[in-house]
């Protein structure tokens, strides 16, 4: 039998994990649906029944990334408890199989569940909304790349990689420590971003978020510099490479864990 991966052993481990966490996952899904419903419902109610696609997209980005990051950070929470860590590490399955179960649940299954929940709630809120006669609410289309919703998948992937790495790397208070390190990185990126732009572009009054368009003023006119489609693909590829690096690092860190 392969010591790294066995389909039979992996199936049993996946089944065991599913049975043990079914109630927790069901409750979490219900809470997620409730949060999305409250936010969409409040926005629709406060805007006389109007629910623009842009508002749906913004909520989609924040919820898929935020909830996904929190869920991923709990993937190896048991390793922070000595008694539970002993049970996890002595379980007759390879580290790769344990990691794969956590990864599938926190990435693939989470995405499928989130999309299902979001669209069910979104469709329900739109159907219950009563906008003015000249306004028609339409459902968010995540396949439309002219809308910003697709950014949510990129942000979620980054947070997932960082969160699952933190859940393995930190032994105590992993969620708090992971969030703290993440915000330190974000602050550093914000502090470095604009000075670096000024050096590269050579203009004093220019602004732009990391991996986003640039804005500057020249001859009393506002200008916007948008990257090409090829450059966007390159940027996403770089970000995905970073995510994969976090996944790999988390796995090898898990292999180092001992009782």
pTM: 0.83
Name the average pLDDT for the chain.
Answer: 83
Name the residue ranges covered by the structural domains of the chain: 7-255
In whole angstroms, give the CA distance from residue 182 to residue 166.
10
In the structure encoding, which two tokens stand for residue 226, read together?
């948008």
DSSP string, 206-243: EEE-TTS-EEEEETTEEEEE---HHHHHHHHHHHHHHH
pLDDT in tens, 146-190: 777 888 898 899 999 999 988 888 777 777 777 777 778 777 767
Q: b/e for 128-143, b at 16 or more Cβ within 10 A?
A: ebebeeeeebeebebe
Structural contact between residues 72 and 160, judged by C-beta atoms closer than 8 angstroms: yes
Residues of the chain below pLDDT 70: 1-2, 189, 193-194, 196-229, 231, 258-259
Strand, helix or coil for residue 138: coil
């Amino acid at each position: 039998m392969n010591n790294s991966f066995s389909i039979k052993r992996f199936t049993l481990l996946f089944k065991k994990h599913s049975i043990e966490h079914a109630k927790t996952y069901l409750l979490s899904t219900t809470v997620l649906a409730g949060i999305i419903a409250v936010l969409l419902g409040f926005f629709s109610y406060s805007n006389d029944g109007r629910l623009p696609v842009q508002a749906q997209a913004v909520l989609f980005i924040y919820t898929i990334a935020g909830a996904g990051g929190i869920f991923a950070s709990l993937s190896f929470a048991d390793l922070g408890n000595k008694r539970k860590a002993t049970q996890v590490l002595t379980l007759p399955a390879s580290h790769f199989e344990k990691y794969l179960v956590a990864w599938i649940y926190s990435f693939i299954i989470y995405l499928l569940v989130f999309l299902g929940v979001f669209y069910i709630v979104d469709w329900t809120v739109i159907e219950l909304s009563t906008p003015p006669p000249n306004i028609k609410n339409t459902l968010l289309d995540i396949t439309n790349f002219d809308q910003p919703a697709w950014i949510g998948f990129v942000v979620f992937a980054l947070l997932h990689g960082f969160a699952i790495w933190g859940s393995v790397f930190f032994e105590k208070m992993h969620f708090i420590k992971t969030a703290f390190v993440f915000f330190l990185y974000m602050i550093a990126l914000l502090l470095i971003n604009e000075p670096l732009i000024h050096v590269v572009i050579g203009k004093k009054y220019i602004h732009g978020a990391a991996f986003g368009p640039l804005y500057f003023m020249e001859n009393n006119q506002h200008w916007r510099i948008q990257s090409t489609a090829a450059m966007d693909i390159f940027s996403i590829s770089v970000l995905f490479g970073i995510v994969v690096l976090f996944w790999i690092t988390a796995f090898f860190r898990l292999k180092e864990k001992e009782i």
